[in-house]
Each structure stands twice: as C-alpha cells, then as structure tokens.
Amino acid sequence: MRTTQFGWQACSRCGGLFFTGRIPVPGCKAGGQHTTSRNTNRGILNVPMLTDTIQNREESNWRFCANCHGLFCTKGDANEVDQGVCNHAQTGNAGHVVEPKSAIYLLEPIDGSPVTAGDKAIAYYECSKCGGLYHDWKTTVCNAGGSHTRQTYDLSGRTNGERYYLLKAQ
C-alpha cells in the first residue's frame, strides 16, 4: 500500500534532505546541527515492499540511510550505493547504508531545470558526489567535500541533461 511519509526537510546550511522523525538527528556536514528554519515539512511517497506497480516514470531505487537519515539512490547493489559518501558512515565504509527496515521510496524525475518560482522552491536534486538528495540553497555543503553537484543524465540523446524531483509540502 502506498503512503506518504512526512517529516523530510532540507537543511538550510548544507542543503541535504534528512528525516526529522527519528531522534537523534545526526549533525550537519556544515557543522553543528541541521537547520530547518527556511523550509517546510516535505512528504515522500513510499511503499513497504515493491509489490505495487511502478507508475509512469517513478524511480524505486531510493532508500533511507541508517547513518545520516538522508535519502539516497541505490545504484546496482541493493544494500549500498555504488557511488556516494555518507558523512556519518562507520569506519571502513564511506558509503550510505540502507536502513534494514527501510521502505522503498518512489520519486518521479522531471527532465530539465525547474522553470517557475513555485517549482524552484520545492525542487530537489540528486548529488553526483554523495548520492543524496539536496535542495539548491545559495550554498550547499556535500558529504564528499565542496558543494553538491547536480547529477546529469543522457536525456533523449541530449548530454548533460538535468533532472529534478518535486517534493510536496504537508
């Protein structure tokens, strides 16, 4: 059964999307604790297991990281992201780790860049360096160092095509 899980927010300091419904919330890559003063509670569609039919262009490869409480894209290996860096990873493993009871999160990508001010306010991107979702504040801080970098795709023959995800507010 599909449900929407609320409690997701983007940190206004690092830009990273994290789940606020689990205590304690891990610290921010930019230093200190995550700050959520400039955004609202976001909901993400999820299913307990992949028995539902995936609709339209929904991606079913998004999982909850047990270490950083962020959402990240699993590519290939079902238990660990092929690329990516988790700021809260255990020694010897720099990547995100799927929470054992993680739901399967469904996100529908939109090709291109957001056009309207309303879409820009709720647009989230996959980072090509850390593998997580982030909101593009004026400055962002990536777990892999530097700023987040938008993942690009070959979209219908175009190179370096951008893709984003709209996360609705509660």
pLDDT tens for residues 47-95?
655 555 666 777 778 888 888 888 888 765 445 445 567 777 666 667 7
Distance, in Å, from the CA atom of 75 to the CA atom of 93, rounded to the nearest integer, reads 16
Global pTM value: 0.81
pLDDT of residue 54: 66
Strands 158-166 and 152-155: what pairing? antiparallel
> What is the token pair recorded at 14?
């690092």
Residue range 2-14, pLDDT digits in tens: 788 888 888 888 8
- Annotate 131-150 with b (16+ C-beta within 10 A) or e (fewer): bbbbbbbeebbbbbeeebbb
Domain ranges of the chain: 1-170
Residue range 130-157, pLDDT digits in tens: 888 888 877 788 888 899 888 876 655 5
Are the C-beta atoms of residues 47 and 104 closer than 8 Å to each other?
yes
Distance, in Å, from the CA atom of 53 to the CA atom of 147, rounded to the nearest integer, reads 36
Question: Angle at CA 82, nearest 5°, toward 15 and 157?
Answer: 80
Q: Which of 11-15, 38-42, 84-88, 158-162 has the lowest mean pLDDT?
A: 158-162
pLDDT of residue 154: 61
Distance, in Å, from the CA atom of 63 to the CA atom of 35, rounded to the nearest integer, reads 22
Are the C-beta atoms of residues 140 and 131 closer than 8 Å to each other?
no
